[in-house]
Structure 1
Amino acid sequence: MGDENPICTLGDYSKPSHEGYMNTIELPSEDANQHLKDFLKLVDSLDIDSENMDRTCLCLFQFSLRDQASNWLERLPSGSIITLEDLTTHFLA
């Protein structure tokens, strides 16, 4: 019969295990409106003067995307997004 309580060595206990691991970070919403709202809330929390707000949003937005949304942004024609309004219009479409 199989041993229900196998003997474990000290080495067995030192091996990393993901058993029972639960991620504490909630993944971003797949809802484009909510994603944009959360992104703008994050940018608003930074100390950025209004002159540079659009430019900063345009630079940072790419880092808020992942998977299909990131691929979507990379497939847009070069120069198709110049302002934050362009970005929001394209993203929500």
Structure 2
Amino acid sequence: MRDENPIRTLGEYSKPSHEGYKNTSELVVGNNVVHLRSDTIWERMRLRLFYFFLCDQASNWLKRLSAGSITTWEDLTTRFLAQFFPLGRIAKLCNDIMMFQQQHGESLSEAWTRFKDLLQKVPHHGIDLWLQIQIFYDRIDDSLKRTIDFSGGGQLRRMSSERAWIAIEELA
């Protein structure tokens, strides 16, 4: 039986893929009764708990919304992100990530921390883990690349994304 989620190396991500995305399962409807799926229950719980994780402007924004105006988690996240992460800001922050460059005299630890800070500024950046690692690796000097390669027991490209992240994290 084929593994549905095989471990892939960073080099494999650059190869074309013909695999599509699986459709999500649909609600089962029978005898006019809709069976609740566990993800429906989780969605309602997330909607109710979201308020408790907000403070300051975000909390005030949510309080100002009219009751019943948000009915799904997707609607809430879309409206929240539109309010607090306008497209211009997202574009600039994503560009900062894509154009990351190690600064002169910056250590691996400092560069890695700065790169992770950029990623954290846009938690919904949509950049896959393998590409995050590739961006960082491509933009550091050769001596740091050799250090990372040596610590991982070989070339970074031969590691899985998760293993490469851990290798850099441990070195930094």
Query: TM-score by structure 1 length?
Result: 0.46
